[in-house]
Amino acid sequence: MKTRLLVAAAMPAALVRAVNNGLARTPQMGWNNWNTFACDVSEKLLLETSKLLVDYGLKDLGYQYVVLDDCWSVGRGEDGYLIPDTTKFPHGMDGVADELHKQGFLFGMYSSAGEMTCARYTGSLDYETQDAESFASWGVDYLKYDNCYHMGRMGTPLISFNRYNEMAKALKKTGRSILYSLCSWGEDYVHTWGGSIANSWRISGDIYDSFSRPDDLCACNDPANPACVAPGTHCSVLAIINKVAPYIDRGLPGAWNDLDMLEVGLGGMTEEEYKAHFAMWAALKSPLLLGNDLRVMDATTLSIVNNPAIIAISQDPKGRAAMRISRNLTVPKDEFGVGETQVWSGSLTNGDQVVIFFNAADEDLDMSASLAELFVMHGPGGSADEVKQDWTVRDLWGSEGARMSKADAQAVLDAKSDAERSSVLKRANWYNATEKPYAKGLEDGDERLFGERVGTVKAGGRLEARVARHAAKVFRLQSAGGKAGASKGSSLRDEL
């Protein structure tokens, strides 16, 4: 096993803050074991999963981080350094990192800014220097840093900032480039200071596999409310979206609002709910970390998480999240009294605009928005120049050039060899971001990133669509005179 030698190259003096460390210029993508496996972790699980990320074409879509969550240590030695569990990880953490690096992945690990981790293993509070040295010497590329058992060191933004900054400083001191991901659950207004020291920060309590069900364990919806005693652990997709809406603009290249890991494929939501969940996380520029068991993944799940037109929204080089421009609570409610619709809109590279009609009501609904509303961030009251243009509308879940067919997805899963899988992906003309980064594909107008053309909105007009219950329609609007994503043979209706 390697000794704790530090990376020799020092970081340039100009890289003062983590937000400027050159990492996460677009939201990080990868896989984390926690949502499915919790403490049932091992070297075998990580390496089996990394192989499947390659086999299924997910690595080449950008899922590059393999992140080990909690439960990996057996405590500290007399020297104060953490000791990995060699039963679970017989080749040590550096051995895991070496294997992942050989496959072209980046290796992520977990600790907590507390005396214990959330699963009550040894935490890093007051041992930041030793633990950062260990992570660097093991070849770690990503640290998820949690918030459990913090010994009361919270309650104001400055107290929490100082606690998390200790690890930020320790990581920088090692000289190794390590993406720093805070998991402080949105406490102490982390969105106001997280970008000063980290590449992402959690904005809520833990997600669970529900689209909109309210749960008392996710009570912290209003941080100014004195009755809000805990951020919680059972936060629905809808609860998290509503939590981040007022400050979604705080995310910028290198520093992102983290809406927590993806639940796609875990079984608690419908296909439409999972599609909406995935698309919203992409448009709101949350990190995209898969949480399902790839060894038993079905075709529906694969065809959701490998949609390059949706991923291109996440990885758009402009790095601006969509913003909520309207919210309607006067819609049919479900058995829990929950129901609403929302419209989100945001600027993309090449002058494009992403628009999402998000239907959390209890029935299918017709939804619409005027160009004046969709471009309100460019100028209120219809004053934006964009309102005076015609816009081509492309459906990012459309059948042509966007979502992989379930038959092709099943063929990828069933393939018996690397050559057979490669043949399926080649036949499907699937996108490979390793060969052509998203920024280049968008610049070239690669149709695989632009969905299916479905119509035009005339200057001063409205975008309209029927949206299924608990679903989202995701559109990419392009100036009708633009060249990006120009379609060949796509279906076209004169108006939506």
> Per residue in 176-207, pLDDT tens?
999 999 999 999 999 999 999 999 999 999 99
Query: Helix, strand or coil for residue 142?
Result: strand
pLDDT in tens, 60-77: 999 999 999 999 999 999
Q: What average pLDDT does range 446-458 have in this prediction?
A: 95
What was the pLDDT predicted at 484? Answer: 38
pLDDT score of 234 more than 60: yes
In terms of Cβ atoms closer than 10 Å to its own Cβ (0-12, 13-18, 19+), residue 36 is buried
Tokens 């606690």 appear where? Answer: 163
pLDDT score of 7 more than 70: no
Task: State the alpha helices, DSSP H only, in 245-359.
Answer: 271-283, 299-305, 308-314
Model confidence at 226, pLDDT cuts 50, 70, 90, reads: low
Q: Cα–Cα distance between 455 and 477 in angstroms, integer?
A: 10
What was the pLDDT predicted at 470? Answer: 98
Backbone angles phi, psi at 252, to 5 degrees: -145, 165
Q: Of 332, 323, 333, which Cα lies nearest the Cα of 369?
A: 323
Range list of β-strands (E), 399-470: 452-457, 462-467
In terms of Cβ atoms closer than 10 Å to its own Cβ (0-12, 13-18, 19+), residue 275 is buried
Helix (H) or strand (E) holding 172: helix 157-174
Chain centroid to CA 317:
15
Percent share of the chain, pLDDT over 90: 88
408 noted as active-site residue: no
Which position has the higher pLDDT, 350 or 224?
A: 350
pLDDT score of 222 more than 60: no
Task: State the alpha helices, DSSP H only, in 26-150.
Answer: 34-37, 43-55, 92-102, 128-138
Given 70, 131, 146, 188, the catalytic residue: 146
What was the pLDDT predicted at 231? Answer: 75
Q: What average pLDDT does range 4-10 have in this prediction?
A: 37
366 noted as active-site residue: no
Asked if 256 and 229 touch (Cβ cutoff 8 Å), the reply is no
pLDDT in tens, 375-416: 999 999 999 999 999 999 999 998 765 799 999 999 999 999
- Classify residue 117 as left (phi > 0), alpha (psi -120 to 50) or beta: beta
Range list of β-strands (E), 211-336: 256-258, 288-290, 323-328
Given 131, 206, 352, 446, the catalytic residue: 206
pLDDT score of 490 more than 50: no
Q: Cα–Cα distance between 49 and 34 in angstroms, integer?
A: 13
| Torsion sign, CA atoms 147, 151, 155, 161 | negative
pLDDT in tens, 423-441: 999 999 999 999 999 999 9
pLDDT score of 153 more than 50: yes
CA atoms within 13 A on the CB side of 336: 13
> Encoding tokens for residue 396?
């990012």
Q: Of 328, 326, 367, 372, which Cα lies nearest the Cα of 353?
A: 372
To the nearest whole number, what is the mean pLDDT of the chain? Answer: 91
pLDDT in tens, 9-24: 333 333 344 567 899 9
